[in-house]
Structure 1
């Protein structure tokens, strides 16, 4: 006989980090490979240079970096978020899905990322705080685009609706995530990877918790127990 221990997943900071921590070890190797690949692909966009060191010959590099950041990185980032969500759901993970956005919903991913980025930048220009609020309220857009297959504007509206009442949770989770990264750096290279995995898992868990709440079914299996 097979029974399942059930974990009640509710939208909370502690619950999300706790559930994410437990579930990420079930598919640890897969998730480690995912963040490693994503880190390599996202790397070129994270380069920085000083204005006084800029030279004309660097223009093509800057243009390439911008194109890479807006046309490639979002697809990998959205795919990464979706795979972590699948891990939290105990679903099968296929590493090919990290790149599947290039051939399926590429336009939706790019446009959704541009809309969210533009809204956040606009909010930051308006005395910073509105930008932070917008960033928190639109944190679910990648999951919604990949999971619910909504178009960009619908995803933005849906994220705004789903995060109503949860904005502060997302904000404080971002602050906790910052300190987790610092802690990971203190514990050397491996610690950073574990911190990143935990952060992704926690945010995916929060999305799932809110989604479960929306459909009035807030329990999902956490461990299968096989009994003879």
Structure 2
């Protein structure tokens, strides 16, 4: 097992991507790969919400599309957030050298379902409001709330506390997270260009990097104990 002393690294874009790259090719490679593929497949039906009216106002097709759109919206807001939060938690476990069990993808349905759904709705609403306010505030909110999923799953915080804690934790790291977002875009594009399947590995790398950054920030917040007792909730 790789020493957890590696989590003493300073929160940075380069350090997070470097650490994440090394980890995804470790013992957790297969479950992480399968998780990304499963989430990609399950994410498909949420596209049912993407439809528009025809210019000729033909309401026949529209009546057929309404139930499909409603299903897509329900799927996107009531099902997929649980899977995506579970995916983030799975990657965090792998970064900690803890068991990365695929069952974690669905773990949120057991006891955290309401918190996950509410947290996702709050984040989406705040980001949308921010983007309406000339885009830049939306980017700021998106960066500052990037730890919400980890906090709900890892620290078992309720929706509002997770939002507040993420805002607190990311203070001073907004540019780091923004930079990682820009890097992530080019990493995915590079993965597609090199080989289509490379996009899967790109997504794995990005998830691993953000999980590493979250853990690094946790450590940075605790000067007296730079290596926290993993898995123990905050008081």
Give the TM-score taking structure 1 as reference length: 0.91
Partner SS, residue 196 of structure 2? helix
Go from structure 1 to structure 2 and tell me whether the alpha carbon gap of 1:52 and 1:150 turns closer, same or farther (over 3 Å shift): same
The equivalent residue for 1:40 is 41
The answer to whether the aligner puts 1:23 opposite 2:30 as a matched pair is no
More off after superposition, 185-194 vs 64-73: 185-194
2:216 corresponds in structure 1 to 209
Report the equivalent of 1:129: 136
Q: Kindly tell me the number of residue pairs found equivalent between the two proteins.
A: 219
Alignment of 1:40-59 (within 5 A): 40-46=41-47, 48-52=50-54, 55-59=62-66
**Higher RCO, 1 vs 2 (CA within 8 Å, ≥6 residues apart):** 1
- 1:10 CA drift (Å): 1.2
Q: For residues 30 and 137 of structure 2, what CA distance do their matches in structure 1 show? A: 38
Cα distance in 1 between the residues matched to 2:90 and 2:106: 11
**CA 46–9 in structure 1, closer or farther in 2 if over 3 Å, else same:** farther
Matches for 1:1-228 after TM superposition, within 5 Å: 4=3, 6-7=5-6, 8-26=8-26, 27-46=28-47, 48-52=50-54, 55-216=62-223, 217-218=225-226
Instruction: Note the C-alpha offset of 1:3.
Output: 9.3
Q: State the distance in 2 between where 1:95 and 1:136 align.
A: 27
Any idea what the Cα deviations from partners look like across 1:155-197, whole Å, max 9, x if unmatched? 0100000000001111110011011111111122220010000
Q: Does the Cα contact within 8 Å between 1:75 and 1:109 map onto a contact in 2? A: yes
| Unaligned segments of structure 2, at least 5 residues | 56-60, 229-235
Decide whether the 8 Å contact of 1:108 with 1:152 is kept in 2: yes
Unaligned runs of 5+ in 1: 221-228
Q: Distance in 1 between matches of 2:90 and 2:113?
A: 16
Shift of the 171–197 alpha-carbon distance from structure 1 to 2, 3 Å rule, reads same
Q: Quick check: 2:2–2:97 contact (8 Å CA) kept in 1?
A: no
How far off is 1:50 after superposition?
4.8
Shift of 1:92: 0.6
> Which deviates the most, 106-115 or 47-56?
47-56
Distance 1:87 1:124 in 2: 33
Q: Secondary structure at the match of 1:59?
A: helix
Q: d(CA) in 1 for partners of 2:87 and 2:46?
A: 16
Would the alpha carbon gap of residues 3 and 114 (structure 1) be closer, same or farther in structure 2, given more than 3 Å must change? closer
